Amino acid sequence: MKKLAVFSISIAIALFVSGVLAQSAEPTKDHAEPARNHEWLKQLVGEWDIQFKMYVQPGQPPAEAAGTDSVRTLGEHWVIAETRTTMMGAPYRGILSLGYNSLKKQFNGTWMDSFGGQLWVYKGTLNDAGDTLTLETEGPCLLQGPDKTARYKEVIQITGKDSRTFNSSMETPDGTWMKIVTIEYRRKK
């Protein structure tokens, strides 16, 4: 009787696992032909020169740096960008992943860089004109210290075939938005 029970449970587990594997092997809508939003991401692909401005102190001129951004695809649904510059006399590297989830109907992404241990996780939307992607995230508050959290808004705007901008802002404790970073991108010839 015990052998029959063990055998029955083993068969049930095997059928369950094979069903899960069969479902994961079936193409989903997200693996179907890339959507318009996936195509939008591809215009970011290439080699770019960047002019970086970081607004360290309100009312003071920004710290400026030049650098590069190298963007490649990862399949049909993702782009990976690697930014290189020098900030405050030190090499600075950052990696951005951006993709579009057709099922959730939103852009998703991450950012990590060589200056900190924070993994920024993005959710975003494209405007109706199709030229501006707004990403939202939360992370350590620059004004109140790393133990406090703030909301951040990052905007990628296509300004031409070979140009785009990036603007990052943080919501302050009084509810206003403070500009932190702007980057101008020009495609390398």
**pLDDT score recorded for residue 153:** 98
In angstroms, the Cα distances linking 97 to 123, 137, 158 are 12, 14, 17
Q: Could you tell me if residue 10 is inside a domain?
A: no
**pLDDT score recorded for residue 181:** 94
Over residues 98-140, the pLDDT tens digits come to: 999 988 999 999 999 998 889 999 999 999 999 999 999 999 9
Q: Could you tell me if residue 4 is inside a domain?
A: no
**pLDDT score recorded for residue 1:** 53
> Once rounded to an integer, what is the mean pLDDT over residues 13-33?
46
Q: Could you tell me if residue 132 is inside a domain?
A: yes
Range of the domain at 155: 31-187
> Once rounded to an integer, what is the mean pLDDT over residues 39-62?
92
Q: Could you tell me if residue 137 is inside a domain?
A: yes
For the purposes of burial, counting CB atoms within 10 Å of the CB of 151, is it exposed (0-12), middle (13-18) or buried (19 or more)? middle
Greater pLDDT, 59 or 17 = 59
Q: Could you tell me if residue 120 is inside a domain?
A: yes
In angstroms, the Cα distances linking 109 to 51, 133, 135 are 22, 12, 8
3-class SS at 110? strand
Distance CA 178, CA 159 (A): 22
**pLDDT score recorded for residue 11:** 52
- What is the pLDDT confidence band of residue 2, given thresholds at 50, 70 and 90? low
Q: Could you tell me if residue 105 is inside a domain?
A: yes
User: For the chain, what percent of residues have pLDDT higher than 70?
Assistant: 82
> Does residue 87 carry a pLDDT above 80?
yes
Q: Which CATH number covers residue 109?
A: 2.40.128.20
Q: Could you tell me if residue 5 is inside a domain?
A: no
> Does residue 12 carry a pLDDT above 70?
no
> Once rounded to an integer, what is the mean pLDDT over residues 151-176?
96
User: For the chain, what percent of residues have pLDDT higher than 90?
Assistant: 67
Q: Could you tell me if residue 24 is inside a domain?
A: no
- What is the pLDDT confidence band of residue 142, given thresholds at 50, 70 and 90? confident
Q: For the chain, what is the domain count?
A: 1
**Lowest mean per-residue pLDDT among 4-13, 31-40, 118-127, 168-177:** 4-13
